[in-house]
Amino acid sequence: MPDTHPTPTAPGGGLVPAPLSIDGPGRGTVRLGADTALAAGPGTEDTARWLRDALGAAFGLPLPPGSDTTPDTLALAVDPALPPEGYRLAADARWGVRITGGGPAGVFWGAQTLRQLLGPQAFRRAPLAPGRAAVLPEQTIEDGPRFAWRGMLLDVARHFLPKDGVLRTLDLLAAHKLNVLHLHLTDDQGWRIEIRRYPKLTEVGAWRERTKLGHRASPLWDERPHGGYYTQDDLREIVAYAAQRHITVVPEIDIPGHSQAAIAAYPELGNTDVIDTTSLKVWDTWGVNPNVLAPTDTTLRFYEHVLDEVLGLFPSPFVHIGGDECPKDQWRASATARARIAELSLADEDALQSWFIRHFDRWLTDRGRRLIGWDEILEGGLAPGAAVSSWRGYAGGIAAAKSGHDVVMCPEQQVYLDHRQHASPDEPVPIGFVRTLEDVYRFEPVPPELTAEQAAHVLGTQANVWTEVMDSQQRLDYQVFPRLAAFAEVAWSRLPAPAARDYQDFTRRMAAHYTRLDALGVDYRPPGGPLPWQKRPGVLGRPIDGAPPNV
């Protein structure tokens, strides 16, 4: 996409997300050139490597090691007096640039701000004009995030995104100061993680014969087989790449619903006394699937073994186990399930699902991890350490916070980025409610019903990217951007109440940010609507009219 947007002239270079404070822009300029040294204090080594890779490549700068006591230096340091993810960036022509963070992550976020200040060229992989210095205004920026959890869910189960696409996603999250990638690795339509004990999960479960094009009511099919998976070494690389960017990768292994790909690979996991599970294949369409896991000891041991390998790959303190959209019809028809309910003195099938979740909550807790799941896991009660992803609206998150559980707010009506961006019929495969850039900018993660003590349980927020109708990197870019930039500001910046937010100022800063996205090669939705190659005429969606409910 060509660089068609004007070069920014705003103080602070049109930073997104907005920092806490900017002091003194416009006094003069600081130049980073061939003689500029990079002084990296203890704890800043990852950021120093990243700066040499990113700015060194973009401007052709060697950035040799130096001392923070000499002029013309880019100096990095940790000062525990600052908040852990907070930073101070000071640019002065007399000595250069100093980035001080409360911890290594704070230094890295300061480096992301520096990159924005240097203009769109800083986001390219090779210099446009070799030998030209990088220039930024003299100024001091003080900054730090509102929320500790600033995330995006990426669904790689419905449409597989090759490893390089995940690494690119991590770079884009880092550029927006987002620090959690929730990786949705398993579903009815595909199993994407190598489990060495159970090779059929990827030999069989990672591949479907064909794929529904558009909404499940669409008559169209892509008759090509679709699939793929990440080897354990791929995932180690993804996790390490994320860690260098101070991003936590939270894995999701869906149970007890959304499990047909696993049952197709290992039929004994399903309700064999209700259906012929050997006839099941990896699902090729979308929606809520009736084929769920059987509540047997065999199933429990199988997923314990799966999670053993998952824990060895992902150091995240949280492991997401899904827990959503689990129809109970097969359990009601299953003598095995009814016997389990009687054995455990449970009230009904809903309590059986709660037993399922609680089992893995205890299992993870015993291994020093925390369970997090979709808000359905509240039904039947939760163990004290479990956390909730509130997706059906705010209600689940409110109930969880009031009960003392930690919450990540991701209500579908507000921050599901598969939802359409405009009411125009030109929007490609329109799904759900209209959620414009401004709508996302006015999203508020903390409901006013919560007291200060209850609100402290809101760990943060994440935008969810479900890929049923996103079958390529181009479609992913279109749905996610530019709305992820608005979401990032909601998650990072201390904004006023939604109605009082200065959206015009945000759009002014976005004029600068679009040039950065252009330089990164992001195929975002332009402000004026989709370009001809971004449209998908004839592919059926499922638009919902009217304003989304605040539930």
Separation of alpha carbons 150 and 489, rounded Å: 10
187 catalytic residue (yes or no): yes
Distance between CA 287 and CA 308 in Å, rounded?
Answer: 29
407-448: per-residue pLDDT in tens? 999 999 999 999 999 999 999 999 999 999 999 999 999 999
Q: CA 117, CA 292: separation in Å to the nearest integer?
A: 51
> 23 — phi, psi (to 5°)?
-120, 125
Contacts of 511 (CB under 8 A, 6+ apart): 5, 6, 8, 14
Q: Is 422 a catalytic residue?
A: no
Of the candidates 160, 152, 153, 151, the one whose C-alpha atom is nearest the C-alpha of residue 468 is: 160
Check pLDDT > 60 for residue 524. yes
pLDDT at 130: 84
pLDDT average, residue stretch 474-493: 98
Which residues fall within 8 angstroms of residue 353, CB to CB, at 6 or more apart? 256, 323, 326, 328, 376, 379, 380
How many other C-beta atoms are found inside a 10 Å radius of the C-beta of residue 341? Answer: 20
pLDDT at 25: 64
Cβ atoms of residues 465 and 153 within 8 Å = yes
Amino acid 100 reads T
Comparing CA positions, the residue from 74, 93, 76 lying closest to residue 35 is 74
pLDDT tens readout for residues 143-161:
999 999 999 999 999 999 9
**CA 338, CA 273: separation in Å to the nearest integer?**
11
Residue 117's pLDDT is 97
- Maximum Cα–Cα distance across the chain: 79
Q: pLDDT > 90: what percent of the chain?
A: 94
Query: What string of DSSP letters covers 102-159?
Result: SSHHHHHHHHHHHHHHT-GGGGSSS-SSTTPPEEEE-EEEEE--S-SEEEEEEETTTS
Candidates 325, 379, 438, 444; catalytic one? 325
pLDDT in tens, 381-404: 887 889 999 999 999 999 999 999
Q: For the ranges 18-22, 130-134, 300-304, which has the lowest average pLDDT?
A: 130-134
How high does pLDDT run on average in the chain?
95
Residue 511 CB coordination number (10 Å): 16
The CA-atom distances, in angstroms, between 271 and each of 188, 190, 296, 334 are 15, 19, 9, 7
Name the residue among 94, 84, 96 with its Cα closest to residue 143: 84
* Rounded average pLDDT over 169-178: 98
Q: What is the pLDDT of residue 2?
A: 31
> Is a pLDDT exceeding 60 seen at residue 4?
no
pLDDT band at 253 (very low <50, low <70, confident <90, very high): very high
Which of 258, 320, 419, 457 is the catalytic position?
A: 258
* List of residues 6+ apart from 93 with CB closer than 8 A: 28, 29, 30, 31, 138
Q: Record the tokens describing residue 378, joined without a space.
A: 């509240």
Q: What is the pLDDT of residue 24?
A: 79
As a whole number of angstroms, the distance between CA 11 and CA 255 comes to 49
Contact 39, 32 (CB under 8 A): no
The CA distance from 551 to 544, in Å, is 16
* Residue of 187, 375, 412, 523 with catalytic role: 187
| 122 vs 135: CA distance, rounded Å | 10
Residues 6+ apart with CB under 8 A from 495: 18, 146, 489, 501
Q: How far is Cα 185 from Cα 190, in angstroms, rounded to an integer?
A: 8
- The span from the CA of 281 to the CA of 275, in Å, is 13
Q: How far apart are CA 493 and CA 501, in angstroms?
A: 11
- C-alpha pair distances (Å), 549 with each of 392, 397, 485: 10, 15, 23
Look at the alpha carbons of 228, 188, 414, 448 in this order and tell me if their dihedral is positive or negative.
negative
pLDDT, tens only, 8-63: 334 456 999 999 999 976 679 999 999 999 999 999 999 999 999 999 999 999 99
- Residues near 276 by beta carbon (within 8 Å), at least 6 away in sequence: none
- Residue 511 C-beta-side C-alpha neighbours within 13 Å: 12
Q: pLDDT at position 26, please?
A: 64
Residue 124 pLDDT exceeds 60: yes
Torsion of CA 503, 509, 513, 515, to 10 degrees: 120
Alpha carbon distance 519, 517 (integer Å): 5
Q: 287 with 217: CB under 8 angstroms?
A: no
Q: Kindly state the percentage of the chain with pLDDT values over 70.
A: 97
Please spell the DSSP secondary structure of 69-94, one letter per residue.
TSSSEEEEEE-TTS-TT-EEEEEETT
What would the DSSP string read from start to end of 327-344? --HHHHH-HHHHHHHHHT
Q: What is the rounded average pLDDT of the residues 114-139?
A: 94
Quickly state the pLDDT bin for 380 (edges 50, 70, 90): confident
Peptide bond into 543 cis (omega under 30): no
Q: Beta-carbon neighbour count of residue 137 at 10 Å?
A: 18
pLDDT for 68 equals 87
54/56 Cα distance (integer angstroms): 6
Query: Tokens standing for 464?
Result: 């969810």
